[in-house]
């Protein structure tokens, strides 16, 4: 890989995705960010000096349509799009049909999105490219369909690492714990719950988006060429990874 790489970050308009994109932009890489909200994405891209491509990563038609706007060669792919859809629209419907719909939303938003974008770009990934997918501590501590989706991301990542490994391409998951100053909880995290989550850490603080971006930066560096198929936990020890 040369000094300037082609980087694609899904969900790059806010939070962890924005911080990750900022780290690559600062390093001099050419960055493309995606997201569903055009205004948010365009503003973020302007601040970052990145290229915005508006699409829903969980929608195969939208991903297919976006391909002509995405780079022909991709050195780094960060699958960050996702989140706990229950905070937005879960539980509004009644009965088993409503339960199933809410469950499927989280699977689609977090697993299908990463798989779709990775599959769509598979032939554009450069030799020795890097794939990082953002997971969650919830895969190990539980959080209904969201936890199940992030656990599925970890299993899926193993197959991705195996598939692309012969090309020198690595695939890893970065699993954050509580991260401050993101839209993740959409205002639904109580002070009491927040203090409890911080209390579970060994260093007694919430994580920052920069904490996550730093680990992503390492995993996408030439130095991490023999690290693949792994889950790297960034949670202050709230869940000791093994």
Distance CA(68)–CA(30), nearest Å, equals 17
Distance CA(214)–CA(113), nearest Å, equals 23
Distance CA(15)–CA(85), nearest Å, equals 16
Verify whether residue 18 is a known catalytic residue.
no
Instruction: Give the tokens for residue 196.
Output: 């409890």
Kindly name the residue from 18, 24, 103, 146 that is annotated as catalytic.
146
Q: Residue 240: CB partners within 8 Å, gap ≥ 6?
A: 233
Instruction: Give the tokens for residue 230.
Output: 């792994």
CB-count exposure of residue 196 (10 Å: 0-12, 13-18, 19+):
exposed
Distance CA(50)–CA(24), nearest Å, equals 10
Distance CA(203)–CA(112), nearest Å, equals 34
For residue 114, CA distances in Å to 57, 150, 205 come to 7, 11, 29
Question: Which residues carry out catalysis?
Answer: 146
């Amino acid at each position: 890989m040369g000094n300037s790489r082609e980087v694609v970050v899904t969900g790059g308009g806010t939070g962890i995705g924005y911080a990750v994109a900022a780290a690559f932009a600062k390093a001099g890489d050419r960055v493309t960010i995606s997201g569903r909200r055009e205004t948010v994405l365009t503003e973020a891209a302007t601040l970052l000096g990145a290229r915005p491509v508006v699409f829903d990563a969980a929608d195969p038609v939208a991903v297919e349509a976006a391909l002509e706007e995405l780079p022909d060669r991709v050195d780094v792919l960060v699958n960050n799009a996702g989140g706990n859809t229950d905070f937005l629209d879960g539980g509004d419907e009644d009965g088993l049909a409503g339960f199933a719909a809410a469950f499927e939303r989280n699977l689609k938003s977090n697993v299908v999105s990463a798989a779709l974008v990775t599959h769509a770009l598979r032939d554009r990934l450069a030799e020795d490219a890097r794939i990082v997918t953002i997971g969650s501590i919830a895969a190990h501590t539980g959080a209904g369909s969201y936890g199940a989706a992030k656990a599925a991301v970890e299993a899926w990542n193993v197959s991705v690492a195996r598939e692309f490994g012969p090309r020198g391409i690595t695939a890893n998951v970065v699993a954050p714990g509580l991260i401050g100053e993101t839209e993740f909880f959409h205002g639904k995290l109580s002070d009491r719950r927040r203090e409890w989550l911080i209390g579970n850490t060994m260093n007694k603080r919430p994580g920052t988006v920069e904490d996550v971006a730093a680990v992503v930066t390492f995993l996408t560096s030439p130095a991490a060429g023999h690290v693949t198929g792994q889950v790297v936990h960034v949670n202050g020890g709230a869940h000791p990874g093994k």
